[in-house]
Structure 1
Amino acid sequence: MIASALSVRALLSAIFILMAGSGFLSTLVAVRLESAGVPSLIIGLAATSYFTGLTLGSLRVEPLIARIGHIRAFAAFVTIFSASSLTYAIIEQPIVWVVLRFIDGFAMAGVFVCLESWLNRQATPANRSTVLASYMIALYCGQAAGQFLLNLGDNAPDLPFMISAVLLSIALLPVLLTRMEQPQVEAFTPFSIRKLYTASPLGIVGTLATGAMLGAFYAMGAVYVQRIGMDLSQVALFTSCVIAGGVALQYPLGRLSDRFDRRRVIIACFAIAAGVSATIAALKLPTVGTIAMGSIFGGFAFALYPLCVAHSNDHLEEEERVGASSGLVLTYSAGAMAGPMIGSSAMSAFGPAGLFAMIGVLAAGAAIFGIWRTVVRSAVPASEQQVFQSLPRTTPMVAVLETEGNIEGSKSR
C-alpha cells in the first residue's frame, strides 16, 4: 500500500493541502453569516450555490482541461479558488458570498476532475483500489484537519480566509513540479434517472436521500451547534469528529455488506442515522454528548453513498458501471443542492432542532423504502455481489477510477 501511495504522492499531497485550505470554508461561511444575523434561508442558499457550482463544473470543465492540459487547468482552477477566498475578506456582503460559493464549487470541480483523471492514469489493475483508498483518506483527513483553522478567526476575522488562500497556493507546488505524464480526460455518459431507478431503486433513492442529508449537514451543522451554545473551537471539533467518524466506519460497514444482503446494511445505516438524528434533535445533550453523537451520525451517514453505489453495481453489467456510478454522483449532487434549503427551512420553522429532525425524517423515509424493496425484490447472493469500495462523493470522474477497480476485483474473485 505504501508503495502505491508513494507513486502518486504529488497528487495526494495536493488534495490534502487543498482540502485543508478549502474544506473548512463551508463551515466558516455559515458561522460568519450566522454571526452577522443573516436568515437561515440565505445561509442555506450559500451552500446550495456551492453544490450547484460543483455539479455544473463537473459536467463542463473537461473541454478546458483537454485543450490546455492538466497542469495549466489545475493551476487556473486553484488560482480562481484562492482569489475567491481572499474576496470573502474584502467584500462582506451575503449576496456576494453566495456568488463566491458558486465560484468555489465550480473551481473545486475542476480540481477534482484534474486529480481524479490523473489518478486513473497512474493507477494499475494491481494497485487501483489502494490508490483510491489513499485518495479518499488524503481528502477527508485534509478536510477534517482544516476545520481547526476556524479557531484563528477569534481575534482576526480575516485571517482564516487568508490562511485558506495561502494553503491553496501552496497546493499548486506538488502538481506544478511533478514529472508524471499528463493523462487524457476519460469520457463518460451518465445514466438517466429512469434507467438508474429501473436498475436499482434503492440505489438511487438512497443516494438522493444521502445527498440531501449531508448537504443539509454541511450547510447548517455548524449553525446548529453554534445556536445551542457551542463556541468556535467546539464547532470546529464537532465538524471534524463527524468527518472522522465517516472515514472510520466506511471500511468495516463495507466489508459487512460484502458478506450479507447489502440492502440490510443500507437500511441499518439509515435507521441508525435516523435514530441518532432524532436523539440530537429531541434531547439537550452536553457538549461531549453532542460531539459523540455527531461522530456516530457521520460514521453511518458517510458510509451510505458508497454502499448505495455498490448495491447499484450489483445489478449491472461491467460495461454499464461507469455510466451508472457517474449518474449516482450527479444524483447525490442533486440531493446535496436541495438539502441546504430544506435544512435551513426546517431551522427557520422549528428552531435549531429542526435541522436534525429533518435529517432524521429523510433517513427514516429511506430506511422504510429499503424495507419495502427487500419485500418486493429478492437479494443478490453474497457470492455474486461486487466488492465494496470506499469512495468520496466528488465528481463523476471518480466513477472511472472506482468502477475499474471493482471490475478488476470481481475478475480476481
Structure 2
Amino acid sequence: MVTTLINFGALLLGIALIMLGNGLQGTLLALRASLEGFSTLVIGLVMSGYYVGFLLGSSIAPRIVQRVGHIRVFAALASVASAAVLLHILVISPAWWILFRLVTGFCFSGLYVVTESWLNHGTTNEYRGRTFAIYMMIQLGGVGGGQLLLNAGQPGGFTLFLLVSILVSIAVVPILVTVSPVPDFSAPTHVSIRRLYEISPLAFWGGIGAGILSGGFWSLGPIFAEKVGLSLAQISYFMVIVTLGGMVGQWPIGRLSDRHDRRKVIALDTFLAAGVALAAALVSTHLPGGLYVLAFGFGVFSFPLYSLIVAHTNDHLQPSEMVAASGSLIIIVGVGASLGPFLAGAMITVMGAPGFFIMLALFHAAIGGYGLYYMNSRERTPLEEQVSFVSVSPRMSPVAATIAPQIVQENLSTAPPIKKEHEIPDGSGKIPSQGL
C-alpha cells in the first residue's frame, strides 16, 4: 500500500491542489457576485453554470483523454481553468460569468477524469478500495481547506482570485514530472436513463435529489451565511464544519446501511437531515453558535446520501451491469446539481436566508418520503444480497463512478460463501431478512 501511495504521490498532490482551488473558487465567486450587486437568483444561475459545464465535460472529456492522452489533457484543462478564474475579475457581467463557470466546470470534469482513470488503472485489486478512499478524503479535505483560504484576502479584491489561479496552475507541475507510468484509457459505458429508472425509481429520483442538494449547498451556502450576518471568517468556518460533518458521517451510516434494509436507512437518513436543516432554518438568524452545531449535524446526515443511492442502485444490478449504470447515475446527479443553485437562490429570494435550509429540508424529506413509498411498492433486496457501501461524491467524474462498482465486484468475488448451518429450514439457503 505504501508503494502504491508513493507511486501516485505526484498525482494525489496535483488533485489536492486542484481541490483547494476549486473549494476556494466556489465560495469566493458567490460572495464576490453578492458584492457586485448580483441578485440571489442571478447568483444561483451563475453558479449553475459550473454544473452544466461539468455535465458536458462528463460526456466529452473521456473521449478527449482517449485521443490525446492523460498528461496533455491535464495540462491543457488546468491552464484554461486557471485563466477562466482570472476572467471573472476582468469582466463583471452575469452573462459572462455564467460562461466562465461553464468553462470551469468542463475543465474540472476533465481533470477528475484524468486523475481517477490514472488511479483506477494503476492500482491493483488488493488496494483499489483503500486508494479510492484516500482519494475521496483528499477531495473532501481539499474542498474544506479551500474554504479556510478565504481568510487570505477579501472577496472584493484580486488576491483570492490570483490564489485560485496559482493553485490550479501549479497543480500541473507534479503531473508533468511524475515517473508513474501513464495508463491506457477506455471511455466509460452507460446504460440508458430509462433502463436505470426501470431498475430502481428510487435511484433515479434519489440521484436527482442528491444532485440538487449538493449543487444548492455548495453554491448558495456562502450566500446564506452572509445573509444571516456571519463574517468572512465565520463563513469559511461554517462551510468547513459542514464538510467535516460529511467526512464523519460516511462510515457509520454506510456501515448501518450494510447491516439493514438500505431503503430504511435512506429514509431515516434523509428525514434526520431534513429535521436538522429545518432546525437550522429556525435558529439561523438568532443563534449563530447553534447554527455551527446544526451545520455539523447536517453534514453528517446529508453528505452520505449519494453514496447510499449508489449502493442501493448496485443492490439491484448484476455485477456486470454496475459499471455502466454508475456512469448513467452520475449524469442524473449532474442534471440535479445544475438545478440546485437556481432553486436555492429562488427560495432565498422568496423567503430570505431561512429559505436556504428550508429548501434543503424539503428535498431531503421528499427523498425520504419517496423511499417509504418505494418500500411499500417493491420487495426489499435480501440482506445477504446487498452490496457493500463505498463512499463516493457527487463531485466525481463518470470514471470514478465506475471505480466504486469495481470495488463492490472485488468484494463479492472474495466474500466467503454462506455456511450451511445458516440456511433456513426450507432449504433456500437464504438468511432471514432483518429489519432496522
Scaled by the length of structure 2, what TM-score is found? 0.92
1:362-401 equivalent positions in 2, closer than 5 A: 362-393=363-394, 394-401=396-403
Distance change >3 Å, CA 155–CA 390, structure 1 → 2? closer
Contact 2:66 2:187 in 1 (8 A): no
| Moved beyond 6 Å, runs of 4+ | none
1:404 aligned onto 2:406: yes
- Deviation track 1:228-247 (CA, whole Å, cap 9, x = no partner) reads 10011111111111112111
Distance in 2 of aligned mates of 1:192 and 1:246: 31
Cross-structure match for 2:429 = none
Other-structure match for 1:322: 323
Is it true that 1:339 corresponds to 2:322 in the alignment? no
Q: Deviations over 1:20-60 (max 9, x none)?
A: 11222111111111122211111001111000000101101
Q: Cα deviation per residue 1:251-307 (whole Å; 9 max; x = unaligned)?
A: 221111111111111111110111111111123442221122112111211100011
CA distance in 2, matches of 1:63, 1:294: 39
Amino acid aligned to 2:399: M
- Residue 195 of structure 1: how far off its partner (Å): 1.1
Question: Given residue 340 of structure 1, which amino acid in structure 2 is its aligned partner?
Answer: P
Counterparts of 1:346 and 1:105, CA distance in 2: 24
| Residue type at the aligned position of 2:376 | V
Q: Which residue is equivalent to 2:256?
A: 256
Correspondences of 1:105-254 after superposition (within 5 Å):
105-154=105-154, 157-254=157-254
Give the counterpart letter for 1:222 in structure 2.
P
- In structure 2, the partner of 1:38 is 38
CA RMSD of aligned residues (A): 1.4
Name stretches of at least 5 consecutive residues in structure 2 with no aligned partner: 416-436
Deviation at 1:2, TM superposition (A): 4.3
Q: Which moved more, 1:23-32 or 1:83-92?
A: 83-92
Determine the C-alpha separation between the residues in 1 that align with 2:343 and 2:191. 26
Deviation at 1:404, TM superposition (A): 1.0
Secondary structure of 1:185's partner?
coil
Code of the aligned partner of 1:410: L
Matches of 1:285 and 1:332, distance apart in 2:
34
Counterpart amino acid of residue 403 in structure 1: P
Amino acid at match of 1:137: M
- C-alpha distance in structure 2 between counterparts of 1:185 and 1:59, whole Å: 15
Give the deviation of 1:151 after TM superposition. 1.5
Range 191-200 or range 361-370, more displaced: 191-200
Instruction: For residues 197-235 of structure 1, give each alpha carbon's deviation from its aligned partner in whole angstroms, at most 9, with x where no partner exists.
Output: 211121221111111112111111110110010011111
Cα displacement (A) at 1:96: 1.9
User: Given the superposition, is the C-alpha separation of residues 231 and 207 from structure 1 closer, same or farther in structure 2, using an over 3 Å criterion?
Assistant: same
Q: Does 1:310 align with 2:322?
A: no
Q: For residue 183 of structure 1, give the secondary structure of its aligned residue in structure 2.
A: coil
- In the alignment, the residues of structure 1 paired with residue 214 and residue 393 of structure 2 have an alpha-carbon distance, to the nearest angstrom, of 13
Contact between 1:262 and 1:311, CA under 8 Å: does it hold in 2? yes
User: 79-88 or 224-233, which moves further after superposition?
Assistant: 79-88
List gaps (5 residues or longer) in structure 1: none
Aligned equivalents of 1:154, 1:282: Cα separation in 2: 29
In structure 1, C-alpha distance between the alignment counterparts of 2:257 and 2:32, rounded to whole Å: 40
TM-score computed with the length of structure 1 as normaliser: 0.97
Task: Give SS of 1:24's match.
Answer: helix
Q: Distance in 1 between matches of 2:3 and 2:181?
A: 18
Matching residue's letter, 1:159: T
| Deviation readout 1:132-191 (Å, 9 max, x if unpaired) | 101101111011001112112239711001011111111111111111222222233322
